Amino acid sequence: MQKKIEFRTKVLFQILSLFIFLVIINFISSKYFIRLDLTEDKSFTISKVTKKVLSELDDYVNIDLYFSEKLPAELLTLKQEVIDILKEYQAYSKDKIKVRVIDPAKDPQLKNKVLSMGIPEVQMNIIEKDERQLIQGFLGLGIFYEDKKSIIPVIEETRNLEYELTTGIKRVITEELKTIGFLTGHQEKDIYSNYETLRKELEKNFKIEYVNLEKGKKQIQNNIALLIIAGPKEKISEREKFEIDQYIMNGGKVFFLIDKVDISEQLFANDLDVNLDDLIKNYGIQMNKNLVLDRICENAGFRTGYVQFITPYPYFVKIVKVPGYNGFNALQPITSKLETMTFFWASSIDTILTPSVNFIPLIFSSPQSWTTSGYYNLNPQQIPAAMSGFKSNLMAVISEGKFRSFYSDKQIPKLDLSDTELAGWTDVRTEETKKTECNDTNYLLFIADSDFLDENNIKRVPSNLTFILNAADWFALDKELITIRSRGLINREIKRMEENEKTIIKVLNIILVPIIVVVIGLVRFIIKKRRRKAYLGN
């Protein structure tokens, strides 16, 4: 009887101890969080950049999560993941971040307010009482500081949520956004048609505006933090080149996305000269009149009569990161986290030894690439051979240094305009005010392709967009933010196998696997037989 009492007491004590332990663990976990992130690039861990931004907050920032309560099962998990991330933001901000989870559908007035902010109702399928129903719900988020706000209209996944949250917080606490200008007036890529997705993404962190130099009558304003020259088709005048040069001399940064070969919709190709070669060479860069081809390439669809076919197309140069070949500069933040990109009808780039200028190569084609020039045959069934052999070609590069003006030893170009066009205009440029050298180190980006950012190509290769957004951040915003956006962009390509390797694996599957099963069966049979003999002997 005494033993039974002792046993029951011992069991009760153990249960009580376990209960107290669980209560303590639950209390600690409600105050502190520990997350074990086993992903390769720590996709689910708050980065040092975000922690720094949050620790420097000197006032309260409100984040309202507009998620409907009634959601499909798969979105309930998403909701919890978002809430967990927001809790981490709260903790690292020392409660300077205030979070609310709100269902706008419960309040018609609030619902209208949320809709007016740009957060739409999303259609979702939900299964209820064995019936599939179509419902409307909210999956958005708003960041508020004083009278400013930043909106994430729809959250579909959490992979890029940290970047959107951190840049959103920086946007509302920053007094004024920087401006990116797109050169226009020479049939460049249009930001409302060709580059619509790029424009929308850039507008999350920058002001966007056109820059029209009007044949050189206008200057590039000081508020332009970054100028993008994207695929001009017409020649840029000497006076306009002078204005671009003076913008650079004053510390302005430029993306030169220049097509050296013009490709028509009928796949006719001709060399293209927009009168920028001598200016670009002054900064140590030569964009070649050729097209790069690569055995590592994207597929392309073509039509012959009524037959449509898809085939690997070497003119669509695919940049990858695989064992034995990494086409990206692993030491440069713009490209270090990228694993795949594609250029479309791009030309190669060479660097020229230039005083006080250094180069940061960003992207190379594979060692199995080659170039063609002069006559271009773009027919996928008549791909030109590598006449001069294979080599890796430079596809994107940064030129850095205290650049000397292309016009340092030249007169300021006159405007090539009629008297009527010049009426009422006064030239404020003088030789005395002309800048001949950068005061500080400046940076320029060069890519001999503008098509890689077109709407269809960005949808096809999303990391093309990531690359240019990384570059925009590095040049004009916060270099550290790049490390957040590029997380999760891991390309898990299946390794291509030679025929003999395939044969070996087939043979092993057909012969070796059955042999292993038979051997295991024999071993088990022998072991059982010995056990049986031992049992009968005893």
Boundaries of every domain in the chain: 1-32, 48-163, 177-485, 499-538
- Please tell me the distance from the alpha carbon of residue 104 to that of residue 126, in angstroms, as a whole number: 19
* Backbone angle region of 394, left / alpha / beta, with phi > 0 → left and psi within -120 to 50 → alpha: beta
More confident residue, 485 or 504: 504
Average of per-residue pLDDT values in the chain: 87
- pLDDT exceeds cutoff 80 at 469: yes
Can you give the pLDDT at residue 100? 93
pLDDT at position 94? 87
Q: With 60 as the cut, is the pLDDT of residue 37 above it? A: no
**Higher local confidence (pLDDT), 107 or 44:** 107
Does the pLDDT of residue 418 top 80, yes or no? no
Beta pairing class for 178-184 and 224-230: parallel
Q: Which CATH architecture has domain 48-163?
A: 3-Layer(aba) Sandwich (3.40)
Name the one residue in this structure whose structure tokens are 């490209």. Answer: 335
Dist CA 244 CA 280 (whole Å):
11
C-alpha dihedral, 21 to 25 to 27 to 32, nearest 10°: 160
* For residues 507-522, average pLDDT: 82
294 within 8 A of 361, measured Cβ to Cβ: no
Higher pLDDT among residues 397 and 29, named by residue: 397
Among 40-44, 183-187, 376-380, 465-469, which stretch is predicted with the lowest mean pLDDT? 40-44
Pairing of strands 253-257, 261-263: unpaired
Write the CB contacts of 65 (distance below 8 Å, at least 6 apart in sequence).
82, 83, 86, 99, 100, 101, 102, 141
The C-alpha atoms of residue 109 and residue 102 are separated, in whole angstroms, by 13
| DSSP states along 167-187 | HHHHHHHSSS-EEEEEEESSS
Give Dmax (Cα) for the chain: 121
**Rounded average pLDDT over 311-328:** 91
Q: Which residues of 190-229 are buried (b: 16+ CB within 10 A; e: fewer)?
A: ebeebbebbbebbebbbebeebebebbbeebeeebbbbbb
Q: For 274-303, how does the pLDDT look when each residue is reduced to its tens digit (9 = 90+)?
A: 999 999 999 999 999 999 999 999 999 888
What is the arithmetic mean of pLDDT over 313-333? 91
H-type alpha helices, 72-218: 73-92, 108-116, 161-173, 196-202
**pLDDT tens figures, 351-398:** 999 998 999 999 999 999 999 998 898 998 888 888 778 999 999 999
Provide the pLDDT for residue 40.
55
List, in order, residues 6 or more apart from 189 with CB less than 8 Å away: 182, 195, 230, 231, 257, 450, 453, 454
Residue 229 has what DSSP assignment?
E
What's the pTM value of the predicted model, to 2 decimals? 0.74
CB 262 within 8 A of CB 270: yes
Q: How far is the C-alpha of 487 from the C-alpha of 481, rounded, in Å?
A: 11
In whole angstroms, give the CA distance from residue 282 to residue 66: 53
- Reported as a pLDDT band with limits 50, 70 and 90, residue 521 is confident
pLDDT-based confidence at 538, cuts 50/70/90? low
Structure tokens at 23: 């209560």
User: Looking at this protein, which amino acid is placed at residue 140?
Assistant: G
Give the model's pLDDT for residue 30: 59
How far is residue 124's CA from residue 138's CA, in Å, rounded to a whole number?
10
Binned at pLDDT 50, 70 and 90, residue 485 comes out as low
Q: How far apart are CA 365 and CA 350, in angstroms?
A: 13
Nearest to 163 by CA among 490, 464, 484: 484
- Kindly state the percentage of the chain with pLDDT values over 90: 49
Specify the pLDDT at position 509: 79
Which amino acid belongs to residue 302? F
Whether residue 367 contacts residue 283, with contact meaning beta carbons closer than 8 Å, is answered with no
pLDDT band, very low/low/confident/very high, at 329 (cuts 50, 70, 90): very high
Residues of the chain above pLDDT 70, percent:
91
* Higher per-residue confidence, 11 vs 47: 47
* pLDDT 10s digits, 235-266: 999 999 999 999 999 999 999 999 999 998 88
Residue 100 vs residue 494, higher pLDDT:
100
Predicted pLDDT of residue 489: 47
Q: Say if residue 58's pLDDT is above 60.
A: yes
Residue 257, class by beta-carbon neighbours within 10 Å (0-12 exposed, 13-18 middle, 19+ buried)?
buried
User: Looking at 3-17, 34-48, 432-446, which range is the least confident one?
Assistant: 34-48
pLDDT tens-digit map of 133-163? 788 889 999 999 988 888 888 898 887 788 8
Q: Residue range 108-133: average pLDDT?
A: 83
Per mean pLDDT, which range of 118-122, 184-188, 493-497 is the poorest? Answer: 493-497
